[in-house]
Amino acid sequence: MAAVAVVVVNWNSGDLLARCLSSVLAQDPRPDEVVVVDNASTDGSADAPPPGVRVLKRARNDGFAVAVNAGVRATSAPGVLVLNPDTELLPGCLRAALPRLDRELDLGSVALRVLRADDPARLDASGIGLTSSFSQINVDHGLREADLPAGSREVLGPLGGAALWRRQALERAGLMSEAYFLYWEDVDLALRVNRAGYTCRTEPAARVLHVGSASVGRWSRTNVFYMVRNHAPCLLSSLPGPLLRDRPHWFVLAPLRAAALYTARGRPLAALGGLLGSLLLLPAAYARRRHLPRSGSSRKAADRIAALMRAADRDRLAMRAAAQLPAGAR
């Protein structure tokens, strides 16, 4: 079974971090390395780690991607499990997920089955996807676990805060982009890992509970600003050229539509700030295209990702249909 290093990114997570680490250390097999990268927390949550856990304390909070990369560089196991501190691994999670990396050498990552902590019968995500109109989705979000088909399936990538990566794939893709601070870095990395010739598949038996937005807060100003700001730069930096040339209208419209959605939810200033901030990131995003990993032609990469987009379109329709059912019928 592949050796694995667990990297937990922490920022003022309180008791959630202790619960997360307890679930990690209780796994059988136990991880070979466990590292907490603490982004200058002030609540003392990382001050007294349990035995077997190493803490890397950073002088300032430079964001999720910087912390993940620091944890990856501080470890050496061929598998890397990246976790948010508001996650809890259920028994048997690593035993189910790690053999996939041994058996399937084309896998760059394994998407764990992430369940909602407030309603464990429902999914938070079976991985992440990008639709044909360049919108990000959490695959199977809100669906009942009992209603999901059995077996594994291919998705664009794993949810960033509960992701099992093959170290070789991370290094080939160039690790996480440190341009984003928060949000979209998992989509960006998934696109680059795919372009490097790797795939991602779900593992339904590798189950995780997730509180969700525990540090930042769902629909908060910070959440909305970075979700909008990082949208277009991610697309520009990592999508295959043929997809951008075929759908230039969605490159413009998708971030605008997201900003309109957040405005309708009461965050107009954060959404506008995100749109303006994205303009400043576009030149550097375009420059990063020179360093994209390649496996085959750009057209082949575009065709692979387009197929995953069509699957994400179907996933979004299924999630919308389920959300419209009466509560008693779900």
Q: What is the dihedral of CA 93, 95, 97, 100, to 10 degrees?
A: -170
Position 329 scores a pLDDT of: 40
Which distant-in-sequence residues (6+ apart) come within 8 Å of 21 by Cβ? 8, 34, 36, 49, 50, 53
Residues 203, 225, single domain; the answer is no
H/E stretch holding 111 reads: strand 107-116
For 147-195, the pLDDT digits (tens) are 998 899 999 999 999 999 999 999 999 999 999 998 999 999 999 999 9
Which residues are within 8 A (CB) of 306 and not within 5 positions of it... i.e. 6 or more apart? 132, 243
Whether 182 and 258 share a structural domain: no
Tracing tokens 């990469």 back to the chain, one arrives at: 301
Residue 99's closest CA among 172, 169, 29?
29
Domain residue limits at 42? 4-210
Which two tokens mark 324? 């419209």
> Has residue 245 got a pLDDT over 90?
yes
Section 97-123 average pLDDT = 96
Q: Which positions ≥6 away from 71 have C-beta within 8 Å?
A: 5, 7, 8, 9, 35, 37, 56, 80, 82
161 domain-assigned: yes
Report the CATH number at residue 22. Answer: 3.90.550.10
Q: Are 126 and 232 part of one and the same domain?
A: no
In this prediction, residue 212 carries a pLDDT of 77
Question: Residue 104 falls within a domain, yes or no?
Answer: yes
Same domain, 116 and 191: yes
**Structural domains of the chain, count:** 2
Determine the residue type at 51. P
Is the domain of 59 the same as that of 170? yes
**Domain membership flag for residue 329:** no
pLDDT bracket for residue 328 (50, 70, 90): very low
DSSP 194-225: HHTT-EEEEEEEEEEEE--STTT-TT-HHHHH
**How far is it, in rounded angstroms, from Cα 109 to Cα 98?**
10
Q: Residue 80 corresponds to which tokens in the numbers above?
A: 């890397």
Whether 267 and 149 map to the same domain: the answer is no
Whether residue 110 sits in one domain with residue 85:
yes
The pLDDT of residue 312: 96
Let me know if residue 114 belongs to a domain: yes
Q: How far is residue 119's CA from residue 207's CA, in Å, rounded to a whole number?
A: 14
Q: Does 134 lie in the same domain as 252?
A: no
- Give yes or no: residues 84 and 14 share one domain: yes
Other beta carbons less than 10 A from residue 325's beta carbon: 9
- Which of 210, 230, 246 is the endpoint of a domain? 210
User: Which of these three, 162, 178, 210, is where a domain ends?
Assistant: 210
Residues 201 and 238 in one domain: no
* Mean pLDDT computed over 204-216: 84
Same domain, 225 and 131: no
Predicted pLDDT at 94: 97
Please, which residues have CB within 8 angstroms of residue 105's CB and are 6 or more apart in sequence?
Answer: none
DSSP-based three-state secondary structure for 130: strand
Quick one: 45 and 167 in the same domain?
yes
Task: Establish if 303 belongs to a structural domain.
Answer: yes
2 pLDDT above the threshold of 60: yes
In terms of pTM, does the model score above 0.85?
yes
What does pLDDT average to over the chain? Answer: 93
In a domain, 184, yes or no: yes
